[in-house]
Structure 1
């Protein structure tokens, strides 16, 4: 694995070729990104591909064949190749290989571009279907942010989703990690005080449309993180429960876990994306540090 360093007058960033995963995000010498601790959660900002979340019973069906695939897919555990870099930008690439084809029968190319501008880091995903058949996939982000900056405690933080509109909320079946779409309902609340009980039923999952942002701020100081995106259909907000980990994840997704009542067919999976042969898909989110 190789660590890439980028910096400007405001931010210092580190990214690992393994998983193309963000490793560090500093401003004023303060680390905003969770540094990983297996006691709570050993990862930091994994890329979720070719699925987001869990599959019912750990498998899916495609063309009458059954495939086993772990939660959030395999990209986070694969070595990417760095194919381009400059002072404030780096691009990583992952391609289908013999190992991926055993669990995901599509010839894909995944590129991830990190761009540093001022106090913002943008992350662009580009998925290309290099095969001849229609391709089905999900992709998502999972960055974890420290919430004990400059004497602030976990309970000093809040999450604010903008714009202030009603959004569909999707409950999770805690025992299986799958969705309960039959219990989906609209929520009008947009501000969530961070507490352990907030995450007692796992992640808070909302459907999103258009331009959306989530602000993680606190009442003790001006340190904050904002994650923003356009036209991604879902966001997950998560921290560990009941373990008291000092981080909160803000996760924009183009894909989502299985419904508890799914039949397992990948082509009709809720939230799945499809790409015709040789076509590309792209999506971008931005992390703003204050």
Structure 2
């Protein structure tokens, strides 16, 4: 079921299925990708309890092997709406019989959306309701229309701030796993959009303590800015070679498997560990220009 938040600047619609945003409208313009299956049939999936792909689609825990698809199962589950106010929606997902077949932990996962002027604050809260340490990742995958109103794909650019050296981690396109052995330090600030920018799948980088990534039309300055802190990785993605009219800006607290992983989820690169009854939270903000 869809729920909509509105103020005098934005209208944001979220579906209980996957707790996924389906629309962000401003000045009668749709900013969020509308899930045309010709290119990619999702809008802004929530990634939990893993981010990215597992090597061979599986992992090991406590001498057992579990299967799990890329980006986890939250995006394909119904959440419960537990709070609705004029400017905020809060959705909740708990472990169930099916999730325990893929992920042997009891958890409470909440996703909230809050409107503040021309901004949408998205918050993730994870609680370990198990008696053992819980291994998990969580992240965002919003896709934004390009172009929005004027110009072409190539009239837009991505700007990454702060302008400082960070680690670039290449992906292996067929498997979706990371090539940690090929990590390089790079200075990344302005990335003019071209199709070839994504010819090796997503661009994956380490985050600074506080991050800002803007996707802006150079012709009219219309676009979006995504900010976050304490989410240690991010991805930038548009399908290649398909000329899909969108770009994703993805802050992550977690990351795909390394191609050389041994499959143990407790030692997986970039994994989070949460103590019994412990809580974790992170958030990001989308600002609409």
Q: TM-score range by the shorter chain?
A: over 0.9
* Structure 1 residue 6 displacement after superposition: 0.5
Structure 1 partner of 2:56: 57
For residues 162 and 44 of structure 1, what CA distance do their matches in structure 2 show?
A: 25
TM-score by length of 1: 0.99
Structure 2 partner of 1:126: 125
SS in 1 for 2:8: coil
Contact 1:12/1:24, CA 8 A, preserved across alignment: yes
**TM-superposition CA deviations, 1:232-275 (whole Å, max 9, x none):** 10000000000000000000000000000000000000000010
* Structure 1 residue 150 displacement after superposition: 1.9
Correspondence list, 1:1-290, <5 A: 2-290=1-289
Contact 2:166/2:185, CA 8 A, preserved across alignment: yes
For residues 285 and 127 of structure 1, what CA distance do their matches in structure 2 show?
A: 15
For residues 286 and 152 of structure 1, what CA distance do their matches in structure 2 show?
A: 26
For residues 233 and 241 of structure 2, what CA distance do their matches in structure 1 show?
A: 24
- How big is the alpha-carbon RMSD for the aligned residues of Structure 1 and Structure 2? 0.6
SS in 1 for 2:282: strand
For residues 221 and 144 of structure 1, what CA distance do their matches in structure 2 show?
A: 20
For residues 269 and 41 of structure 2, what CA distance do their matches in structure 1 show?
A: 28
For residues 232 and 149 of structure 2, what CA distance do their matches in structure 1 show?
A: 34
* Structure 1 residue 175 displacement after superposition: 1.9
Contact 2:58/2:65, CA 8 A, preserved across alignment: yes
For residues 274 and 260 of structure 1, what CA distance do their matches in structure 2 show?
A: 21
Larger displacement relative to structure 2 (144-153 or 77-86): 144-153
Ranges in structure 1 where 5+ consecutive residues have no aligned partner: none
For residues 185 and 84 of structure 1, what CA distance do their matches in structure 2 show?
A: 44
SS in 2 for 1:150: coil
**TM-superposition CA deviations, 1:173-214 (whole Å, max 9, x none):** 112110000000111121111111000000000001211010
Contact 2:135/2:273, CA 8 A, preserved across alignment: yes
Contact 2:148/2:223, CA 8 A, preserved across alignment: no
Larger displacement relative to structure 2 (147-156 or 12-21): 147-156
For residues 257 and 278 of structure 1, what CA distance do their matches in structure 2 show?
A: 26
For residues 282 and 219 of structure 1, what CA distance do their matches in structure 2 show?
A: 35
Contact 2:33/2:143, CA 8 A, preserved across alignment: yes
For residues 176 and 85 of structure 2, what CA distance do their matches in structure 1 show?
A: 40
For residues 125 and 154 of structure 1, what CA distance do their matches in structure 2 show?
A: 31
**TM-superposition CA deviations, 1:10-40 (whole Å, max 9, x none):** 0001000000000100101100000011110
For residues 209 and 232 of structure 1, what CA distance do their matches in structure 2 show?
A: 9
